[in-house]
Amino acid sequence: MIDADDLIELVRNYNPTTDEALLLKAYAYGEEMHAGQKRHSGEPYFSHPVAVAAILTEMKLGDAAIATALLHDTIEDTRSTYREIEKRFGTEIAELVDGVTKLTNLQLTSTETKQAENFRKLFIAMSKDLRVILVKLADRLHNMRTIRSMRPEKQVQKARETMDIFAPLAGRMGMQWMRDELEDLAFRVLNPEGRNSIMRRFITLQRETGDMVEKITHDIRKELEKAKIEAAVYGRAKKPYSIWRKMQQKDQGFSRLSDIYGFRVITESEADCYAVLGALHQRWRAVPGRFKDYISQPKSNGYRSIHTTVSGRDGKQVEIQIRTREMHEVAEAGVAAHWAYRDGERAENPFAVDPAKWISTVTESFENAEDHDEFLEHVKMEMYSDQVFCFTPKGEVVKLPRGATPLDFAYAIHTRIGDGCVGAKVDGIRVPLWTRLKNGQSVEIITAEGQRPQATWIDIVATGRAKAAIRRSLREEDRQRFEKLGRELARVAFEHVGKKASDKALRTAAKHMGLGNGRELLAQLGAAEVTARQVVETLYPDLVAKAGDEIDAAQAVVGLDANQSFRRAPCCQPVPGERIVGISFRGKGVVIHAIDCPALEEFEDQPQRWVDLRWHSGRHQMAYDVSLDLTISNDAGVLGRLCTQIGEQKANISNLEFVDRKPDYFRLILDVELRDTEHLHAVMLALEADSNVASIERHRDPERVVS
């Protein structure tokens, strides 16, 4: 246990003007009150308040907070009283000790109604003086560090409470270091096998690669020296729970995770932050979508920093945070930076957020809650932002992504429930099907016989399961519409080669394609299960294959090895005339992507798989599908006229899918076979000029991946 002189020395290191007499008096009084009391470990109980006070010195808090830590259990666990504390140490410290005592008595994991009321009390305590929560968090941190001395069932209860309440609260307050440690300590109790597995893999990785943190830190320092930028560089491996969470979120094994190390660059000025960013991005390739500038757009708790991820040594993804020293103080202490000392004086950190303003922004929406459930839902929305947890009328939990609707909920239960959905009640109130669900809500789905999914549902739902079920049902129900659409696609395709799509021709093609009859062929053509090109090619292979001096599509790319096959990526559908790059797949050849395709982000840490490619110059075959997103007026003959216009541009429609039907407008995805970018531009220009086309743009679907 730290003695009084050592504790005062810890405070004096950052606050030379500390009131030593006050701290000595608080230490002596706390030791006297807890005399004879023992912890579960057998140690003197007073060792705990002293350890809590020591944790607060790491946050560089003032004398009142340190004294409160030394006294925080006296009112609850000893004969001391509020009046006694106020008489000896003043009203400020007495109020703080009383506030911590009240928080200790809250049962945050009790029944839902009780839990909501206790949460309300917690936030009221926070609004009075945020130092109460800082002492309570330090108290919880030390209890978690020494949790092994508790009974197993008590360990699990405290660990769950820490993971659900205190760790997210520390993160919300900007004290990420405390959140990381609290989560990891709780993880050690709740899933020891998972944590040990991560630790073993870390040891194996270090044995195989050496100390990657030291190597990468050296690489970063070397680049900053070249750029003549003064900065400190720190690196560390991420906490086991942080890695475990990434594995769960990305559904990846440890070996596939690359950003398991974190690095910080601490500069002298804001301008240096951006200079560091430039130097790092000049040296290493930045990973798209992994850049955030919290300097120009600070978080509500005062956090400022630049976050970037680069492909560093050996292609490893390296996460780097860049900030000034003052920003770093706020990043470490969060809202506690408001009370922190620096260089012996109470610091006026320009980046520290005013605790009163911060807590008012956090609790503003809570105050409008009319009942316990609503308040609890508000709290959980603030704490957790990744997923939505809703309940069936029987109390079963349904986990959905944020943005999910009652329709997603219905399909998550059963496809039959989703298909027959006619309405929903959320917390007993009838709501529209497009309502976005929130944490903790109870959802009841209303069904009716004969109900079928609507085409507009595709835009309402957020989950892949729901979208797939709706599309499947629509295809089954709309067979007649598909036949009609298929006939129009066939007419245009046949006319393109100078032939007529007669019933006999369609029956013959269906027979050779093993589809039974002409109607089945048209239905599959309209449903995009076969393409118009396939149908025409079955009957007239010479007309379709006639290429003259055109470049064979199989030989259209330059830069491949001999006999190396390639495919176009379905997500970006590159065509001749666009800049391209290849990604190699073992045993599957090379997949061609447009250079600006977002899907390339997945391969940023695998440079050995990238292949430098380009298209052959010259006239290419008309063999490249491109998807167009059109919104057209719902008038008679419009679709047929547009198909004719595409045919006039010597292009071929290979697929057509309606994605939205409104009384006045249709939105559809049209797949067109083209030669190159010039051909694409000509087709889009012709369609855009039509008065019945409200909008047209190229459609790229990042969810369509190579299989």
Distance CA 50, CA 43 (A): 12
Q: What is the DSSP letter of 600?
A: G
387-462, what's its fold? Answer: Ubiquitin-like (UB roll) (3.10.20)
- Note the pTM of the prediction, 2 decimals: 0.50
Closest CA to 412 of 456, 467, 453: 467
Distance CA 493, CA 543 (A): 12
Specify the pLDDT at position 384.
46
Q: Based on the number of CB atoms within 10 Å of its own CB, is 152 exposed (0-12), middle (13-18) or buried (19 or more)? A: exposed
Q: Which residues of the chain have pLDDT under 70?
A: 105-127, 206, 208-210, 246, 248-259, 300-301, 314-315, 334-387, 478, 542-549, 705-707
Q: What is the DSSP letter of 297?
A: S
Residue positions annotated with a catalytic role: 76-77
The three-state secondary structure class of 411 is helix
Closest CA to 183 of 119, 243, 123, 259: 243
Rg of the chain over all Cα atoms, to the nearest angstrom = 33
Q: Residue 319 pairs with which residues in a beta bridge?
A: 262, 309
Location of each CATH 1.10.3210.10 domain in the chain: 4-190
- Helix residue spans in 44-145 (DSSP H): 47-58, 63-71, 74-77, 82-89, 91-104, 112-128, 131-145
Give the start-end residues of each E strand in 386-533: 387-391, 397-401, 421-426, 429-431, 443-447
The sheet with strand 443-447 has its strands ordered as: 429-431, 421-426, 443-447
Instruction: Classify each residue of 203-222 as buried b or exposed e, where b means 16 or more C-beta atoms within 10 Å of its C-beta.
Output: eeeeeeeeebbeebbebbee
φ, ψ for residue 9, nearest 5 deg = -65, -40
Distance CA 339, CA 355 (A): 10
Distance CA 637, CA 284 (A): 55
Distance CA 303, CA 315 (A): 30
Distance CA 537, CA 91 (A): 90
Specify the pLDDT at position 348.
54
329 contacts 59 by C-beta, under 8 angstroms = no
Distance CA 60, CA 63 (A): 10
The string of DSSP letters for 620-677 reads BPS-EEEEEEEEEE--TTHHHHHHHHHHHTT-EEEEEEEEEE-SSEEEEEEEEEESSH
638 contacts 596 by C-beta, under 8 angstroms = no
Distance CA 154, CA 163 (A): 14
Give the start-end residues of each E strand in 538-635: 557-558, 566-568, 580-585, 589-594, 610-612, 614-615, 624-633
Cα 109 from chain centre: 27
What is the Cβ-side half-sphere exposure of residue 638, based on CA atoms within 13 angstroms? 18
Location of each CATH 3.10.20.30 domain in the chain: 387-462
CA distances to 36, 500, 575, 595, 684 from 674, rounded to whole Å, are 87, 22, 8, 19, 11
Token output for 458: 């595709």
Task: Mark residue 42 as left, alpha or beta (left: phi above 0; alpha: psi -120 to 50; beta: remaining).
Answer: left
330 contacts 302 by C-beta, under 8 angstroms = yes
Specify the pLDDT at position 365.
43
Q: Residue 631 pairs with which residues in a beta bridge?
A: 667, 695
Specify the pLDDT at position 553.
84
The three-state secondary structure class of 13 is coil
What is the Cβ-side half-sphere exposure of residue 140, based on CA atoms within 13 angstroms? 31
525 contacts 536 by C-beta, under 8 angstroms = no
Distance CA 620, CA 676 (A): 7
CATH 3.40.366.10 fits 199-346, yes or no: no
573 contacts 624 by C-beta, under 8 angstroms = yes
Distance CA 565, CA 555 (A): 9
Specify the pLDDT at position 417.
94
| CATH class of the domain whose range is 4-190 | mainly alpha
Please state, as a whole number, how many other Cβ atoms lie within 10 Å of the Cβ of residue 645: 17
Give the start-end residues of each E strand in 397-477: 397-401, 421-426, 429-431, 443-447
Distance CA 437, CA 408 (A): 10
Please state, as a whole number, how many other Cβ atoms lie within 10 Å of the Cβ of residue 415: 18
Distance CA 262, CA 180 (A): 13
Closest CA to 232 of 249, 247, 214, 217: 217
- The pairing of strands 614-615 and 557-558 is antiparallel
Q: Per residue in 584-595, pLDDT tens?
A: 988 778 999 999
Specify the pLDDT at position 532.
82
CATH 3.30.70.260 fits 549-707, yes or no: yes
